Amino acid sequence: MTDLARIGPPAVRLAPPALPPLIDPRIERVIHATPDRLHALVAQYGSPLNIVWPHTVAGNIERMRRAFAAHAVAHEIFYGAKVNKSRALVRAAVEAGVGVDVSSLAEFEDALAAGAGPARICATGPAKTAAFLRRLATAGALIAVDSLEELDDLGTCLDAGEPARVLLRYRPDSAGRSRFGMSREGMVQALRRLGQDRPSFVFEGFHLHLSGYGIESRVAAMEEVSDLVDTAAGLGLSARLVDIGGGMPIRYVDPDAYATVLGSQRPEHYQNGRVPADFYPYGSALTAADWLDGFLQAPCRGGTIAGYLRAAGLRLAIEPGRSLVDQAAISVFRVTRTKPLGAGRAVIFVEGSSFSACETWFASEFLVDPILLPAAARQLAQGGMRAFIAGHSCLDGDIVTHRLLEFGTAPRPGDLLIYANTAGYQMDLLENEFHRHPMPVRLVAEPSSEAEFIVAQDM
């Protein structure tokens, strides 16, 4: 108590403004109405504990569908399964009527087990194995072919029977030196091969996937793809689908608060003295539906993209990951120790590691403040603290957040720190059994009332 009491606010404010999470109202009510239940679940299953809330998925899908409907654009939505390992989230997406984007044989089998018909599964990613290609082709899934070499590999995997359904993955001019997809010249070669080997393949259209979250790069790529649609038609191949992948932003925190932080942060706001060069747009001005609306209104061939798609008889496919699991999980870390470091700051150690909250491993930060849930057995401490959060491993880089956070109440051992909205890559992209600590448990929660929920293991 004595050491912690010495950590008072310094004369100069070191920490940036707060970035409290935007959180699904039902989940927020659960956190504040049933704190003892959350503590009991962590005591039972360990820390960190991931709790998945599939009820949010259907609403995210419906908002995208409304954006398509406003422009009368035929469409297909594939849930990007790589965003999270949860089978419950795959089931929620399938039950809401969308397909599944898979990048491995295991993800493909999960999609089938969730009830997805093979025709509603699209396989993306480069360098697919022969076993994966054979399974996809036999089942009748849609295959996004990344290269001429992969097209050759697919051909050797085919048995007598139904032809393989393919999209050709294009590398737009704006993608620069990306290793994914084919150049314009490669696409023409691939189209010619498909035209010459019609018994083996069914050409269905084009696929592209760009990094980042800007609309402009996708608009430029769409204009380039429209030329390829014409090229395919000249070779007797009719495209029915253009798949633009994912990259639709979601909103983790209030956009104004986010802009304030970006405009005011300084090296002293971080315990390592470095402001990251790049962040996910946590306070995006656009929601995923806004982004989609803007894309469909963008210019293309003298009209809009929506108008072009309608006139050409094309369906637009998207592969959202984060934006379909927006608000679909929380991650709960138990505090093990708080250590004063002097100069008005401290480090909070949590039971768990930054492999389960992984932005710092990409030289960035998860710019969303955790929610402190004190242990019920203790009296709240008077006075706050300024601290960063570290994991419990021996790695010096095991930092959940370098950003100094201000706590109105000083966290103590046994308290919980809850990170909201972690389903989108955050919770399980790098998780492992380092130090032989067990993998974090994932529970599936279903609201049973306004402030109650039931859980089961994510199977």
Greatest pairwise CA separation for the chain in angstroms: 80
- Residue 51: strand pairing partners: 330, 443
Among 6, 21, 116, which Cα is nearest to 370's?
21
What's the sign of the alpha-carbon dihedral 260, 262, 264, 267?
A: positive
Cβ atoms of residues 340 and 346 within 8 Å: yes
Please name which of 337, 368, 362 lies closest in space to residue 351, comparing C-alpha atoms: 337
User: Could you tell me which of 210, 192, 425 has the C-alpha nearest to residue 331?
Assistant: 425
Task: Enumerate the active-site residues.
Answer: 394
CB-based contact 345:387 (threshold 8 Å): yes
Q: Are 204 and 243 in contact (CB under 8 A)?
A: no
Cα angle vertex 47, ends 45, 52, to 5°? 70
Report DSSP letters for 165-208, one per residue: EEEEEB--GGGTT-SSSB-HHHHHHHHHHHHH-TTTEEEEEEE-
DSSP codes of every residue in 238-302: ---EEE-------BSS-HHHHHHHHHH--GGGBTTS---S----TB-SS-HHHHHHHHHHSEETT
- Give the residue among 340, 429, 436, 421 at the shortest CA–CA distance from 56: 421
Helix, strand, coil: what percent of the chain each, to 5? 35, 25, 40
Bridge partners of 102, per DSSP, are: 123
The one-letter amino acid code at 414 reads G
